[in-house]
Amino acid sequence: MVCLTISPKVALVDEKISITVSNLRPLQRVTVQVWVEEGKAVFSSCGHFLADQQGQADIDQHASLGGTYRGVDSMGLFWSLKSVPGISKDPCLRKVDVTTPLVFRLCVIDDHILWNNLQLPTTVVLVTDTLQRWYKHSSVRRIEVREGSIRGTLFLPMGEGQFPGVLDMFGSVGGLIEFRSALLASRGFASFGLAYLRYDDLPSSVADIDFDYFLCVVEWLAFHPSVQPGGIAVIGTSKGGELAFLLGMSTNLVKALVNIGGAPVYGLDDLKRCGQPFWKGFKMNESKLIYTDEGVYLKDAACYDSEIIPAWTNNAKILYLCGEDDGVWRTDFANALIEACPEEKRKNIELIIYPGTGHLFEPPYMPVSRAIFHKMLGSTLVMGGQPEAHAAAQVDAWKRLLHFLHTHLPKEQHSSSRL
């Protein structure tokens, strides 16, 4: 009987998985398929393998000869996942409820089957199994926060001590996005996933947000009893990255900044503080929008002569992560931050622009989201990213991010357990 061995079968999403198929015929051709459903998203991937003389196919060591990826890559079946045409109603695989795992179904199928033909009834399934991948460690506490106007979710590692604090924000799509905060808490941080737009009683338009809200959140988190004193970090993706830079400019409670795919300027609508004008947003030149079958490219329509946000003002350490294949803005403009920064403070900035990488950096081993529907703009926007290059960038960026936080934040008194 063909045997499928998966280790570990329960893991965090940033952990590697070993997959071995044994008891095959020598040199038998097999397809290993991965299938996952999350909300309206249905994704699958596959690799074509040739068993060795002992009748074994080890995904860690044997090359995929075809399918959704090629070559030797232990996690290729995960980062090469693709939205299933005609079945998936969402092109983006993201976990909404972090109290439940992503459940992956693995199938070993006789012969080499093309990805488009995997659902045909003629396929011969040799063995199946499942594995769970979590964003939230079982020991992490999830606390919904509604204090004054503040809305979000605080994730705390196991233990009663104080932990390095991280404020986590996403972009102008809005809502409350928890997956990265949950994973950060699983790695030892007191992480607060912040909602600031299109959630609960918060503003429904970027034009209506007030920067004072973010300053209040920073102060609340920095002095939270579960957060290590001495300052916090702010992580922001896209619009959240722009806001992170503005926080670095505005308060010395922020000791470390991570901007993921956000411009060094503030985009679109002007930003208010306490109801008064605070920071001018750049405008889009709609005549330079590029429309394709995949979606709209914004990158050439952005205005690149706006005022650079002086995120270095309060000496926060800065990690700036961009993708060269970003469809939203020209990320070579990120160098303008370095050029504008006083020479004596440039040592505080680490800028990485990854080739072949798009706008949306996810945790490791998650598939690239090349295009998403942006509700506020009413259009499908091209995020960009080439699957293999984007996957490699996500692994490197996550390692850099964790190292950066551990290096520049006060040290935790307790560390979280593993699954």
pLDDT tens digits, one per residue of 350-370 = 999 999 999 999 999 999 999
Q: Where are the domains of the chain?
A: 3-134, 141-408
- Per the CB < 8 A criterion, the answer to whether 132 and 384 are in contact is no
Say whether 374 is catalytic.
Answer: no
pLDDT band (50, 70, 90) for residue 259: very high
Q: To the nearest whole number, what is the mean pLDDT of the chain?
A: 95
Average pLDDT over residues 372-385: 87
Q: What is the pLDDT of residue 131?
A: 98
Predicted confidence (pLDDT) at residue 376 exceeds the cutoff of 80:
no
Higher pLDDT, 292 or 417: 292
Residue 122 banded pLDDT, cuts 50, 70, 90: confident
- Predicted confidence band of residue 302 (pLDDT cuts 50, 70, 90): confident
The answer to whether 44 is a known catalytic residue is: no
Residue 412 has pLDDT above 70, yes or no: no
pLDDT at 417 over 50: no
> Which carries the bigger pLDDT value, residue 375 or residue 38?
38
3-state secondary structure the chain: CCEEEEECCEEECCCCCEEEEECCCCCCEEEEEEEEEECCEEEEEEEEEECCCCCCEECCCCCECCECCCECCCCHHHHCCEECCCCCCCCCCCCCCCCCCEEEEEEEEECCCCHHHCCCCCCCEEEEEEEEEECCCCCCEEEEEEECCEEEEEEECCCCCCECEEEEECCCCCCCCCHHHHHHHHCCCEEEEECCCCCCCCCCCHHHCEHHHHHHHHHHHHCCCCECCCCEEEEEECHHHHHHHHHHHHCCCEEEEEEECCCCCCECCCEEECCEEEECCECCCHHHCEECCCCEECCCCCCCCCCCCCCCCCCCEEEEEEECCCCCCCHHHHHHHHHHCCHHHHHHEEEEEECCCCCCCCCCCCCCCCEEEECCCCEEEECCCCHHHHHHHHHHHHHHHHHHHHHHCCCCCCCCCCC
Whether 326 is a known active-site residue: answer yes
**High-pLDDT (> 70) share of the chain, %:** 98
Was domain 3-134 assigned CATH 2.60.40.2240?
A: yes
Across the range 305-316, mean pLDDT stands at 94
Of the residues 137, 224, 359, 374, only one is catalytic, namely: 359
Torsion angle of C-alpha atoms 243, 248, 322, 237, degrees rounded to 10: -30
The CATH code belonging to domain 141-408 is 3.40.50.1820
pLDDT tens per residue across span 271-299: 999 999 999 998 888 899 999 999 999 99
Catalytic residue among 14, 48, 326, 374: 326
- Please report which confidence band the pLDDT of residue 413 belongs to, taking 50, 70 and 90 as the band edges: low
**Count of beta carbons in the 10 Å neighbourhood of residue 208:** 11
Name the active-site residue from 172, 238, 250, 416: 238
d(CA 224, CA 17): 36
- Determine the pLDDT at residue 201: 96
**Average pLDDT rounded to a whole number, residues 134-147:** 98
Is 214's pLDDT higher than 70? yes
